[in-house]
Every structure is written in C-alpha cells, then in structure tokens.
C-alpha cells in the first residue's frame, strides 16, 4: 500500500487507468532498456513503493504526475512497475493484484521471459496491464519483430496486437499456468526463464522447471498481497 505521505497523491490522481499507467511510466525506467533510451545509470534496488516515491522526489521535487526525463527516472525491474501501479490502484480502492509469470512479447519466438504485471478487476473480469510497456518500448518491439526475417508471421502478429492496457492470455502466462503446461501438457520448461548469462550469477542455466517453480511461489505470494523481491535482484545483492 501507499505510505500515508502519498495517499493525497492517489486521491488527487484521476481514476482513469490510462492516467495511472502514464504516471508510473513517467517515474520509472527498466534497467534492461537503459541503452535503448541512451541513458547511463545504475540499478537502484529500491523495492518498496514509499522508497521509490521518496527517491523520485529527491531527484526532482515536482509533482509526481509530471513525467521525468529518462535520466531522472528510478532504475527498476518489471516488478516495481507492477507494484507501484498496483499500490496506486489499491489506494483508490480499485481491486488489483500483482502477478508473476512469463511474457511472450519480451522473449524471442517460442520462449517465455520472466515478467511481472498487474491485474485489476472491472466488468466481472481481471484485466491484465503491463505498466512497463510505454510507447517507445511497444514501438521498438514491433519494429524489431517486423524486421526479423527469422520470426513467423504468427509471432509478428502477436507483437503487433499487443495491448499493454489489456494483455491477452497469448501475451502473458501466469506462473501457475506455465507450471501446469510443462508438467501436464509437455511444454518445454527450458523455454521459460531469463535471457542472459547464467555464469554471472553462479548458475548453470536461467531457464527450466526450477525457475517456473520459483515464479509459482512468488505468484502465490502476490495473490496474498506479498510482493517478494525477484530472484536475480537477491543474487546481485548477495542475499541468497
């Protein structure tokens, strides 16, 4: 939940999901995208919402609803985008929850990238939102997919049809669904994880059933309003 210092912000902010979506994007930037924004900065490891907002104000004391330039945003992971978005919704009494699972639009074709999003309840359904995906990222993903001659037309259509304000089940798979698909339906678990060099973290692989199991536990915690820190952040901080 938002700290008492920021409740007034939530009360003042429009209830329009798009406004909250844009507000979050104006405060945070994903560490993996820094070079594409041509920004040099260090990962903040700021995982609590109150600390995120305080740090934002320490850099720029303007209203939190005024978008920061990329170099003035707090460097985070997908989790913090989802958690901040969810915290604002909850402060507005909009039923919402963070989800941990895997995306298809951030992975190469046929793979599933570790990812966090947020859901909110409206019109008798949970609507999945990815507050990380701003116009620059969405346009970049489409551009990369369309110019890649190795990807299928089906994958290109998947990327072109991405709506970060209402993700489909083809775009995001919860960890529980991924677990069942691998255990019961024979989906290859070695296609689920994080693209990167596992040796940097002292591991043999960043894909597999062990990774899905970890996300399954994190997603279970999220459903109980406990948004744990992502695994790799802990490794980098030597907290494992």
Predicted TM-score (pTM) of this structure: 0.91
Residue by residue, pLDDT tens for the chain (240 residues) are 565 567 788 889 999 999 999 999 999 999 999 999 999 877 666 778 888 899 998 999 898 999 999 999 999 999 999 999 999 999 999 999 999 999 999 999 999 999 999 999 999 999 999 999 999 999 999 999 999 999 999 999 999 999 999 999 999 999 999 999 999 999 999 999 998 787 877 778 889 999 999 999 999 999 999 998 875 444 454 433
Tokens found for residue 40: 């040099």
SS3 26: coil
End-to-end CA distance of the chain: 26
* pLDDT for residue 88: 96
**Facing residues of 173 across strands?**
102
């Amino acid at each position: 939940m938002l700290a008492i210092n920021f409740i007034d912000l939530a009360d003042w902010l429009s209830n329009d999901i798009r406004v909250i979506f844009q507000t979050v994007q104006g405060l945070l930037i994903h560490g993996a995208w820094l070079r594409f924004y041509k920004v040099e900065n260090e990962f903040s490891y700021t995982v609590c919402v109150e600390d995120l907002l305080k740090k934002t104000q320490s850099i720029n004391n303007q209203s939190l609803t005024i978008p920061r330039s990329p170099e003035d945003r707090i460097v985070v992971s997908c989790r913090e985008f989802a958690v901040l978005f969810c915290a604002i919704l909850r402060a507005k009494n909009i039923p919402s929850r963070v989800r941990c699972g895997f995306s298809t639009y951030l992975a190469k074709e046929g793979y599933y990238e570790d990812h966090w999003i947020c859901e909110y309840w409206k019109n008798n359904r949970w609507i999945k939102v990815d507050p990380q995906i701003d116009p620059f990222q969405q346009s970049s993903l489409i551009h990369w997919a369309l110019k890649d001659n190795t990807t299928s037309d089906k994958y290109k259509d998947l990327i072109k049809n991405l709506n970060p304000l209402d993700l489909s089940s083809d775009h995001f798979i919860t960890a529980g669904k991924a677990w069942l698909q691998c255990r019961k339906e024979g989906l290859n678990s070695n296609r689920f994880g994080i693209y990167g060099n596992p040796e940097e973290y002292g591991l043999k692989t960043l894909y597999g059933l062990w990774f899905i199991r970890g996300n399954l536990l994190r997603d279970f915690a999220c459903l109980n309003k406990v948004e744990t820190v992502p695994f790799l952040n802990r490794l980098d901080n030597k907290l494992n």
